[in-house]
Amino acid sequence: MAASTSTPPGPPEPVGRNSKGRDAATSYKWDRLSRPVQVLVGVGVATGVVVIYNGASGLIGHVFNVVLLFLFASVVALILNPVVDLLQRLPGFRSHRGPAVLALYLVIFSAIGGVVALVIPNLVDQAKHIPQLVSQLQHGLADRGIDVNLGAVLPSSSSLPGNAVSVVAGVATTVADIILVVVISIYLLIDGRGLVATMRNLFPENPHRFDFALLATGSTMAAYVRGQSLMSLIIGAYTALTLTLIGVHYAIVIGVAAFLLEFVPIIGAILAMALAVVVALLQGPLVAGLAAIAGLVGHALEAYVVGPRIAGHVTKLHPLVAMAALLIGADVGGILGALFAVPLAAIANIFLGAFYRSRRGEVAITTADDGTVDAESLPRLGDEIEAVEDAGVEGRPVPHFRDAADGAE
């Protein structure tokens, strides 16, 4: 008789290990809850999700705004850095960059203050006559058989306080952002070289790629400032000439104001045109209408024809790309976003181009014994090389890029 073999029974399964039983118990407990309690729990969970989402969105928005401010400040520092280098050659500024930076900002803010002191009082004085001018305009239109109720078109006095509060809040926010950008840019101008050295260490294998990108970026920013100055000069001359031909008083002063306001995108041209129309209203509706037409034509030419072409030429961007960058910057960052949109797009274009060539193995920038920078694997690096070679600043070595064929010889 064969001995029977039997498997000894295993240890009993611990209580709570049965997932089916646990799910059934949970479902039983949830079903035991009354319907109002289930609704309250669902509403509470949904509310928590919404609160967490809104909090995360707000945090991301604040972080994004801070990053934008640092980007704007970096662009300002890149633009003003050559001027600080020039000031450091003067006696009294050679020992440290701080006095040169502060002197530069003192000159900038003094110029802005002078323009404000010149334009704003005249604008306020002219604004006092707006109700009388509106009445005269309405009577003049009525005499010509045009029945227009300008009081219904213009904002009523009851809505002015609310509009004033929103305008003041927007202006205060913009001023605070500008102050932060100025403060950050001052720190970057004074001690930015230490930050640049730290960033350069992120490229230990070939740090001269970073040197090339930095020099090309500085060259692009200098070209952008030259282009924007040319655009402002064109708009200022156009404004002064057209208003003089129309017969508007203070045409030269308004032209100077238009030149300075043109550096502020979108709103600058609008303010210059509004100033011209308000001054022209004192001379009658016909002169004001002609001034408005001249301003609209100038604004259209600046926004859609001349401006994108100049910005695209000096920054190596297609005019459509420059226009798209301007629109996106205005939508994302408001006035500051519009002001720095094209320079940031140009910087991104340089770095993306360098990264693309590096991934294809076309860029190998090294340093020769004499301190020059070579592009050994490229027959020609393109317009970026010419931009960097042409952007020589005294007191700083200008890189020289040698072709592979030249190096072989």
pLDDT in tens, 224-264: 777 888 888 888 899 999 999 998 888 888 888 888 888 77
Return the exposure string of 230-247: e unless at least 16 CB atoms fall within 10 Å of the residue's CB, then b.
ebbebbbebbbebbeebe
In the structure, what pLDDT confidence band is assigned to residue 6 with cuts at 50, 70 and 90?
low
pLDDT at 71: 78
Q: Which amino acid is at 259?
A: F
- Within 128-158, where are the H helices? 130-143, 150-153
Task: State whether 136 and 111 are in the same domain.
Answer: yes
**Residue from 347, 354, 311 nearest 75 by CA:** 347
Tokens representing residue 38 in the block? 């289930």
What are 116's two structure tokens? Answer: 């404000």
Please state, for a pLDDT cut of 70, what percent of the chain lies above it: 59
Q: Is the pLDDT of residue 123 over 70?
A: no
Residue 331 has what pLDDT?
79
Residues 181 and 232 in one domain: no
Please indicate, yes or no, whether residues 187 and 286 belong to a single structural domain of this protein: no
Question: Is residue 87 in a domain?
Answer: yes
Q: Are residues 188 and 224 in the same domain?
A: no
pLDDT value of position 374 = 41
Q: Which residues of 92-103 are buried (b: 16+ CB within 10 A; e: fewer)?
A: ebeeebebbbee
Instruction: Calculate the CA 398 to chain-centre distance.
Output: 29
Residue 110 has pLDDT above 70, yes or no: yes
Within a domain: 233: yes
Report the mean per-residue pLDDT for the chain. 70
pLDDT at 221 over 80: no
User: Do 187 and 317 form a contact (C-beta atoms < 8 A)?
Assistant: no
What's phi and psi for 88, nearest 5 deg?
Answer: -70, -15
* pLDDT above 70: residue 4: no
Q: Is residue 176 domain-shared with residue 210, that is, in the same domain?
A: no
Q: How many whole angstroms separate alpha carbon 394 and alpha carbon 372? A: 16
Given a contact cutoff of 8 angstroms between Cβ atoms, the answer to whether 101 and 188 are in contact is no
Summarised one tens digit per residue, pLDDT across range 41-52 is: 666 777 777 667
Cα separation values, 130 from 122, 157, 168, 270, 295, Å: 13, 13, 21, 18, 19
The yes-or-no verdict on residue 163 having pLDDT over 50 is yes
Asked if residue 97 belongs to a domain, the reply is yes
Q: Does residue 370 carry a pLDDT above 50?
A: no
Tell me which of 131, 157, 192 is where a domain ends.
192
On whether both 314 and 391 belong to a single domain, the answer is: yes
Averaged over 279-298, what is the pLDDT? 86
Q: Does some domain include residue 222?
A: yes
Query: What is the helix (H) or strand (E) element at residue 317, kind and residue range?
Result: none
The pLDDT, as a whole number, for residue 11 is 54
Alpha helices in 6-34 (DSSP H): 19-32
Q: Which of 317, 307, 277 is nearest to 293 (CA)?
A: 277
Burial of 281 (C-beta count, 10 Å sphere; 0-12/13-18/19+)? buried
Amino acid at residue number 394: E
Q: Is residue 283 part of a domain?
A: yes
Specify if 20 maps to a domain: no
The band of 384, judged by pLDDT with boundaries at 50, 70 and 90, is very low
pLDDT at position 105 is 92
| Domains of the chain: total | 2
Same domain, 266 and 351: yes
Same domain, 129 and 237: no
- Same domain (yes/no): 271, 306: yes
Cα(105)–Cα(335) distance, integer angstroms:
20
pLDDT tens digits, residue range 53-90? Answer: 666 656 666 777 788 788 788 878 877 888 888 888 88
Residue 186 located in a structural domain: yes
Whether pLDDT at 304 is above 50: yes
Q: Is the pLDDT of residue 336 over 90?
A: no
Whether 175 and 210 share a structural domain? no
Instruction: Give pLDDT, residue 293.
Output: 92
The pLDDT score that the predictor gives to residue 399 is 41
Instruction: Name the residue range of residue 79's domain.
Output: 45-147+168-192
- 352 falls in which pLDDT band (50, 70, 90)? confident
Whether residue 119 sits in one domain with residue 247: no
Residue 290, domain member (yes or no): yes
Q: Are residues 186 and 234 in the same domain?
A: no
Residue 191 predicted with pLDDT over 70: yes
Q: Which residue has the higher pLDDT, 391 or 321?
A: 321
> What's the rounded mean pLDDT across residues 91-107?
86
Q: What single-letter DSSP state applies at residue 305?
A: I
Q: Is the separation of the CB atoms in 265 and 330 below 8 Å?
A: yes
Cβ burial of 375 (10 Å; 0-12, 13-18, 19+) is buried
